Structure 1
Amino acid sequence: MTNRKIAVLGLGLMGGGMARQLLAAGFDVTVWNRSTDKATALGQAGARIAATPADAATGADVVVAMLADDDVSRNVWTGENGALAAMAPGAIAIESSTLTGDWVFDLARQAAAQGVGFLEAPVTGSRDQAAQGTLRFLVGGEADSIATARPAFDAMGSALVHLGPVGSAATVKLANNFLCGVQAASLAEAIALFEKHGLDVEQAVSILFDGAPASPMVKGVGRRMLDRDYAPHFLVPLMAKDLGYAAQALSDVGIRPSIAQAARQRFLDADGAGEGQRDIAAIVEPLRKV
């Protein structure tokens, strides 16, 4: 990149941390968010606050989006005042949201028609990794575009895995979040079971933490469930969305998504019980009240 101008679209738990890492690395950063209050602190840190996605993308070498779902992504990139139409040929569009393969393919086609490079680059990691610049990017797209955008990736993360053409990263990311969601839902049920039986829950859960089930996901989310620490790392409705997308991806290739659907229902139940603005660990709360 020559003038290192980067736009970041979406300043939630992930996008805000990514934008801060770009600022810290010395990039000329413009930010946009639907609610401007989340942009204020970044403006004070040196970012330009844009009025629209198109305003943010104008003149940018790279535009990075971290958004909630397909509908939001579609509107931000291609809706009224969307970013894509404002991008110059040769610029790079990076979509880091967790989305369906269908929309990623569509967006890639529209970018190509405009002469804009396109990379899908969802991440593994959550709020803390975004704030620390240690995200791992799962990337689908052309190697030349990755090379062009590499300085931005290096500022925001600690690893990049080029999985293949557009669509490959969406598939792997949905599988990743599917497995995370299933583990969290299963763990919530196990903890509620221990509590209903009056066990020493710390002791019982230590068996899980020290045994075969002890993935980083189980340990991290399990600790938050035990401590009732629901400060958001990953919001409940976003996991419900990801499990829904994963279920659709499974159905598309003829696999009945019974496990994904069952796990998703736990997150929908928690959202309906008022846990929607809390961390995914809060899915245990409705089970505690049964």
Structure 2
Amino acid sequence: MASVGFLGLGIMGKAMALNLLNAGFDVTVWNRNPEKCTELVVKGAHQGISPKDVAANCDITFAMVSDPDAALALCQGPDGVAAGIGSGRGYVDMSTVDDGTSKTIAHLITQAGGRFLEAPVSGTKKPAEDGTLIILAAGDQSLYDDAKPAFDVMGKMSPYLGEVGQGANMKLVVNMMMGGMLSIFSEGLSLGQKAGLDGQQILEILDAGAMANPMFKGKGAMLLNEDYTTSFPLKHMQKDMRLAVALGDQLDQPLPTAAIANEAFKQAMKAGFADEDIAAVYKVVK
């Protein structure tokens, strides 16, 4: 089985790397804060000393970090992935970034002789733990074929979307819709309860009709219990909303609903809820 590297062991990355380890892959891990590697090393992973070291010693290296700046930083500099990738080895960036950042990273990797795939994921902490993420892959098709066995362990679906940039765009479209839905859902629940309706009954009625969906079901319970345990940090959703609105500007596509939802998430950030779950947008609405 291929040797794989995994850079970034946050909420998502740790769960994904653990699934690869449990499936029998030879895994080498690295994290900016090295203590986060301990649990995986105890379970049989190797610990890399730098992104360069991991990329130089693994057939395919996966990365899962928080934002475009962190994703770029992993690749650049004397200890970066590009410095170690060498000829033919693969780099798969699973972070959510804009298509411009993705293309910059692709250029750094291919210039160094490596193969590149962007593969942002749709799904939060539980799907990462359960191996049921939706992986949005774009870039080098031979690397996609080689990475597919690992994708099958980490996710339930991993379509190939074409050239670099299309994975990032698909992720922004999906998350933009999610943010917009969560925003109107928060308003509806708040309005209903202020009008004297029972929150649980609102959720049951939604769940019985055409708007039933797993997000309303999961987040609805969180809102009623005022439980904002983080599975998808609110600050990351606001970043995705911002990037989606920017893509709309670039393509002359009006996005009035997304722009307003983005403002609700910005308000929640300003109110101090950046590190809480995306469900905390409800707090500024109610």
With the length of structure 2 as denominator, give the TM-score of the two structures: 0.94
Aligned residue for 1:75?
A: 73
| 8 Å contact kept, 1:122–1:139 | yes
Name which of 5, 25, 28 aligns with 2:26.
28
| 8 Å contact kept, 1:59–1:88 | no
Cα distance in structure 1, aligned partners of 2:233 and 2:109:
30
Matches within 5 A, 1:150-161: 150-161=148-159
Residue 254 of structure 1 aligns to a residue whose secondary structure is: coil
Cα distance in structure 1, aligned partners of 2:267 and 2:114:
41
2:279 is aligned with 1:281: yes
Cα distance in structure 1, aligned partners of 2:274 and 2:43:
30
- CA displacement at 1:257 relative to structure 2: 3.1
Cα distance in structure 1, aligned partners of 2:135 and 2:75:
20
Cα distance in structure 2, aligned partners of 1:80 and 1:250:
36
User: Between the two proteins, what is the percent identity of the paired residues?
Assistant: 37
Name which of 60, 63, 71 aligns with 1:62.
60
| 8 Å contact kept, 2:56–2:86 | yes
CA-atom RMSD, angstroms? Answer: 1.6
| 8 Å contact kept, 1:183–1:217 | no
- Cα deviations by residue, 1:106-141 (Å, 9 ceiling, x for unpaired): 211222212111111111221111111121211112
Name which of 50, 53, 67 aligns with 1:52.
50
- Cα deviations by residue, 1:180-229 (Å, 9 ceiling, x for unpaired): 11111111111121222232121123222222322222222222212222
Aligned residue for 1:96?
A: 94
Aligned residue for 1:258?
A: 256
How many residue pairs end up in the alignment? 286
Cα distance in structure 2, aligned partners of 1:38 and 1:4:
23
Question: What letter corresponds to residue 81 of structure 2 in structure 1?
Answer: A
Matches within 5 A, 1:157-196: 157-196=155-194
Residue 274 of structure 1 aligns to a residue whose secondary structure is: coil
Does the C-alpha gap of structure 1 residues 283 and 43 become closer, same or farther in structure 2, counting only changes over 3 Å? same
Cα distance in structure 1, aligned partners of 2:147 and 2:43:
23
Matches within 5 A, 1:235-250: 235-250=233-248
With the length of structure 1 as denominator, give the TM-score of the two structures: 0.93
Residue 66 of structure 2 aligns to a residue whose secondary structure is: coil
Matches within 5 A, 1:104-253: 104-253=102-251
Unaligned runs of 5+ in 2: none
Does the C-alpha gap of structure 1 residues 79 and 70 become closer, same or farther in structure 2, counting only changes over 3 Å? farther
Does the C-alpha gap of structure 1 residues 199 and 79 become closer, same or farther in structure 2, counting only changes over 3 Å? farther
Question: Which is worse superposed, 96-105 or 72-81?
Answer: 72-81
- CA displacement at 1:178 relative to structure 2: 0.5
The runs of at least 4 consecutive aligned structure 1 residues that moved more than 6 Å come to none
Residue 220 of structure 2 aligns to a residue whose secondary structure is: helix
- Cα deviations by residue, 1:240-264 (Å, 9 ceiling, x for unpaired): 0111111111111012333222112
| 8 Å contact kept, 2:60–2:147 | yes
- CA displacement at 1:80 relative to structure 2: 4.7
Question: What letter corresponds to residue 261 of structure 1 in structure 2?
Answer: A
| 8 Å contact kept, 2:82–2:109 | yes
